[in-house]
Amino acid sequence: MESPVYFVTTCTQHRRPILATTAVANILSDEWRTAHKRHGWLVGRYVIMPDHVHFFCAAEPNAKTLSVLIGAWKEWTSKRIARELGAAVAAGADRGPRSPRAATAEETARVWQREFFDRVLRSEESYAQKWEYVRQNPVRAGLTARMEDWPFQGEIHSL
- Residue-wise pLDDT for 50-99, tens only, equals 999 999 999 999 999 999 999 999 999 998 888 887 755 655 554 443 34
pTM for this entry: 0.86
- For the stretch 102-111, contacts whose Cβ atoms lie closer than 8 Å and that sit 24 or more positions apart, written own/partner, are 103/13, 103/14, 107/13, 107/14, 108/13, 110/13, 110/78, 111/12, 111/13, 111/18, 111/74, 111/77, 111/78, 111/81, 111/82
User: For residue 156, is pLDDT > 80?
Assistant: yes
Q: Look over the chain and give the mean of its residue pLDDT values, rounded to a whole number.
A: 86
